[in-house]
Amino acid sequence: MSVFVIVPVKELYDAKSRLSPVLADEERRELCLKMLGDVLEAVKPVEQFYQIVVTSRDSTVLHVAKDFDAVPLKESETSLNQAVSGAISWCVVRGAISALILPADIPLVTSADLSRILHLGRNAQMVISPSRDRKGTNALLLTPPGICPTRYGPSSFQQHTKEALKRKIGLRILRCPRISLDIDTVDDLSYFLSLNDRRTRASKFLDEIRISHRLKASLKANLKNCL
């Protein structure tokens, strides 16, 4: 089947603002690009994927997409759901039978994880892999791509499961620790570093800027303020 992968990416100018206590603006932008590279690198070897599409309003992001043989799709909508809907329509016109939507900030995802999603999708019209707090949606496979509108936003995992039940869509849920870790907060960053996974672009970049020392200093300062 023709499976298209859609990776929506926000503009970099205000990327990951919740990491600002430990990362400067430029460092947050660079981390986003490193994580995007990790995701695209995991997608690329999976033979079932016909095309990778990176949709964004950011020219730097679209340039990076080309480095991984992904289609850079310039989006015109500001809403994530609208951007994903536009990308899905683009894929359907080009013969997509299924669409897998992935965020750009799950650096630990592997090709094997994505193959598991596709395997589950053989017997389900929707496959969801939730975030670590079980509120967000960190992978969403739809067959056919337009079987239901996406519901990204607060509690999107619950919203997508409700949508599947309402429409009587066959649903499978994959709980995967690597997919579930999206890096948005300082706590997420600390947990990611605690896993000591040195294979990713993101971890190598964080090592280069010695982020672990900053996190320790930040923790000491917070403890001191609590005394």
Mean pLDDT by 10 residues, the chain (227 residues): 93 93 96 98 96 97 96 89 96 97 98 98 97 97 97 97 96 98 96 92 96 77 53
The confidence score (pLDDT) of residue 223 equals 47
Q: Are 34 and 112 in contact (CB under 8 A)?
A: no
The confidence score (pLDDT) of residue 215 equals 86
User: Which parts of 107-153 are beta strand (E)?
Assistant: 126-130, 137-142
**SS3 of 52-105:** EEEEECCHHHHHHHHHCCCEEEECCCCCHHHHHHHHHHHHHHCCCCEEEECCCC
Q: What are phi and psi of 49, to 5 degrees?
A: -80, 120
Quote the CA–CA distance of 33 and 112 in Å, as a whole number. Answer: 22
User: C-alpha dihedral over 212, 216, 219, 221, to 10 degrees?
Assistant: -130
pTM of the predicted model over 0.85: yes
- Give the tokens for residue 111: 């090709």
Cis ω for the linkage preceding 107 (within 30 of 0): no
111-138 burial code (b ≥16 CB/10 A, e <16): eebbebbbebbeebbbbbbbbbeeebbb
Quote the CA–CA distance of 76 and 212 in Å, as a whole number. Answer: 38
Domains delineated in the chain: 3-226 (3.90.550.10)
